[in-house]
Amino acid sequence: MAARRRGRAAGPDAAMFVDLGFVLALVAVGAFAAWPIYQTWYLVVTVAGAVAIAAGAVLVGRLRGWSWALVSVCAAAAYVAFGVPLAIPSAFASRADFVGGYRDLVVATVGDWKKLITVDTPVGHFQTLLVPLLVTMLVCTTAAFSIVFSRSRSYGALVPIMLVPTAFAIVFGTTGPGTSLTIGSFRVAALTHTIVGVLALGAAGGFLVWRGQHARTVALREAAAASGIRRPGGTAVGSARRIAGAVAVALVGLAVAVPLSSTALEPSQRQVLRSAVDATAQLGRYTSPLTTYRAAFSSQPDTYNAPVIRYSGDAQQLGRLRVATMSFYNGQQYTVLPNDSDRSSAFAHKPQLTSSSRAQGLASLDLTIGSGFDAALGSGVWLPTVDGLTAISFGGSDVNALTDGFYYNDKLQAGAELHKLQAGDSYTLLAKPQSAAGQLGALSPPQGAVPATADIPDSLTQWVQSQNLGTGGQALTGLIQRLRDRGYLSHSLVKPTGTDTWLTDEGAGAEFHQSLAGESMDRIGALFDDLLRQQQEVGLDAAPADLVAGVGDDEQFAVASALIAESLGFPARVVLGFTLPGGDADAAAIPACSDGVCRGKNLTAWVEVQAADLTWVPLTTTPQSKLPLSEHQITTSVPKLPTQVQQHVATVQPPPEANPTGGNRQNNEHAPQAAAGPAAWLPALRIGGTIVLILLIIAAPLVSLAIVKLARRRVRRQSPSSAGRIASGWDELVDTAVDLGLPAPGVRSRVEAAALYSAASRASDSTTLRTLAHGADEAVFGAFDPTPDEADEFWAQLDEQRTRLAAAFPRWKRLLALISLRSFRNRGGDR
């Protein structure tokens, strides 16, 4: 105890100051390395707070003589107390958010490590993503300060401990190499990462060299004091020689390490945790917004005039509001997400959008959700944004929830809001106004683009070829214009009623013609069938009014225009949205929003085609409504079928043996046999049909039970998450065993259940069953979710084991298992 007090009372020496300097130096290197991840000056507050908490906890512990366990508890308590202001600046939005921030802090301490690699960098101070950095810095500095202030001889442990923050920044960092530096023929790739590596390893090497030299000096001094023999001191020349040698070795090391690290950090070879994580938002369950397009033009309920969204600001500069961008056509509809979602269709958190500040030269638009938002846009998950979006900020009491629910796709220039939008929710968009598109006729497709052939109706291809306009941008714009001129606008199958509908807005003389919904190949093919039929009837050079034949609205004509562009080799996509005042819509298009309100009647769809410079150029596709549908098209496509009334006249039927052609009686020997044939079979058919019906009634519950089991297996196999698929797969194996008559797991673990089932069936593989049990435990309780490939492999092995498990039982037992109800009962104990 006395020695402990003397050690605690001893004052600081040079070694302690060097140790502290090394710790703070690597804290600074770790913060510098983490800057590309966060790129917010709040990082300085987080790191400084972690160092202050660690230093305070260790100093208090040293003064009071606490053990390392009490010091750790003190640091953890300070972390809980000060973690919210240090790492969750969004909690300052309101008092409720600040109180809720402590709950978020606890959750983020465990869960935000994975979340950090699913959000696109820079993450800023988005949500609670500074918490992993705070935890890393706090744990490392607390351990390091404990070693320093205890004057432990295990100073070497400071090196791996304080390299952890730098490793954290590298592992959780960006996949890109960053900037490079070229000096003559010498190129340093990934300059930032190279500097971080040199600083961290240089500081660690210098610290170990100095510490070793210092320990040698202290040992010599103590030996001289004990023996009385004094060692002559070194000369200045010797000291200079040692310093020069150390510098030379360091320079040689840099000359070798820098090129090697630059090569290792090339973009094609750099792999971090973020490389293996796809940050796609799960939006596949939402229907394509284009399929509900006509709901915006309904008069019952009146979504046609209902305010969908209100706006104010620089609407003239921005031109259009984008609700959803649909780039994937599957032959049935255009969708926002493809069937096999990839990085090009990934919606992800974009902290750089939600944390950017207002910059000069940006247009600003304030938007407020209106009462007709859900009715006009279906699910309401697609958030209206603009081209060139650089920042978005939400307002109101749900600002944090709306920010958390916002996802964005840079390639599609489309946003989604998974937090349910309510009327009155508001947000502000900052965007760089896009330059006006050049001459549309001068467009050319991107290099290497190939005309699409799949999912293109034959009638569309025939119509395009019959126009004789060639290829390229001029042909594309000419074809789309002809399609619009020869189409007729109609939004419904039934004539709208009321005084303020889309039909009355077309003018007093507007005619109503039925229009089928849908955008499948059949619907688009029928549209071009009408155009081809009318063109063949009147000739290609007929008057424009005689060629009007296709009926539809933006849903059909936008899709048709996109498919025309694809057939010419232009990548195309359909965009649903609104035209703002000052937009480039023409007189034939859906009217633009006015008076600060976008209503259902302003919802429109247009096509964007990709040019050779990879920019997307919008094209209006709304059909005209001034020229009426041609009379020939009306008579052929909507034929009039008058009802003919037939007079019923009583007639006298001749007797069976009478000859209807004369008065003589007919002696027909074949007539009795022909009549007797069906009569003889009728009783047999009745009896056979009755027996079959009884058998079907008996078998129906059994077949239904088998179908229910197949459906259950299908649902389990198609679980949204890989972990859920694996856990459900194990349940499927257990249900198979239970239906075969084996006992339920009860309180047994999965491994114990695997041993039980392998013992009951000689055909099963005990090793594989045990591996499957471990895999299910890892999927449920592991720190990381399994990959889809691992889930597929799990199910492949599972199916094999289910088959082998059943092979040990007789055929009749396996048949009874198909209709057994045992697996639907409670599996809480043995049965």
pLDDT digits (tens, 9 = 90+) for 249-303: 555 555 545 554 444 444 444 445 554 444 344 566 677 888 889 888 987 788 8
Q: How confident is the model at residue 501 (pLDDT cuts 50, 70, 90)?
A: confident
Lowest-pLDDT range of 259-263, 367-371, 417-421 = 259-263
Mean pLDDT of 71-94: 86
Place of tokens 């284009």: 290
Element containing residue 671 per DSSP (H, E): helix 670-717
Lowest-pLDDT range of 69-78, 358-367, 475-484, 820-829 = 820-829
> How far apart (Å, rounded) are the C-alpha atoms in residues 161 and 141?
8
pLDDT digits (tens, 9 = 90+) for 57-67: 999 988 888 88
3-state secondary structure of 666: coil
> How far apart (Å, rounded) are the C-alpha atoms in residues 646 and 791?
68
Highest mean pLDDT out of 234-243, 268-277, 762-771: 762-771
> How far apart (Å, rounded) are the C-alpha atoms in residues 578 and 324?
11
How does DSSP assign 183-209, residue by residue?
ETTEEESSHHHHHHHHHHHHHHHHHHH
Asked if residues 70 and 146 have their Cβ atoms less than 8 Å apart, the reply is no
pLDDT digits (tens, 9 = 90+) for 578-596: 999 877 667 778 899 999 9
Q: Which two tokens stand for residue 471?
A: 């290829």
Place of tokens 């013992």: 759
Beta bridge partners of 426: 368
Where is pLDDT greater, at 425 or 454?
425
pLDDT at 578: 94
Mean pLDDT of 513-534: 91
Q: Is the pLDDT of residue 10 over 60?
A: no
Q: Using alpha carbons only, what angle is made at residue 471 by residues 469 and 475, rounded to the nearest 5 degrees?
A: 50
> How far apart (Å, rounded) are the C-alpha atoms in residues 461 and 456?
7
Highest mean pLDDT out of 8-12, 233-237, 387-391, 528-532: 528-532
Asked if residues 401 and 365 have their Cβ atoms less than 8 Å apart, the reply is no
* Mean pLDDT over the full length of the chain: 76
> How far apart (Å, rounded) are the C-alpha atoms in residues 373 and 603?
11
Q: Using alpha carbons only, what angle is made at residue 67 by residues 64 and 68, rounded to the nearest 5 degrees?
A: 120
487-489 and 550-552 strand pairing: parallel
Asked if residues 575 and 606 have their Cβ atoms less than 8 Å apart, the reply is yes
Residue from 107, 59, 58 nearest 80 by CA:
107
pLDDT digits (tens, 9 = 90+) for 314-327: 888 888 999 999 98
Strands, E assignment, 113-185: 181-183
3-state secondary structure of 364: strand
Residue from 626, 469, 610 nearest 545 by CA:
626
pLDDT digits (tens, 9 = 90+) for 593-634: 999 999 999 999 999 999 888 889 899 999 988 888 876 655
pLDDT at 482: 93
Q: Which two tokens stand for residue 794?
A: 């799990």
How does DSSP assign 431-493, residue by residue?
EPPPPPP--GGG--PPTT-----TT--HHHHHHHHHHT--SHHHHHHHHHHHHHHTEEE---S
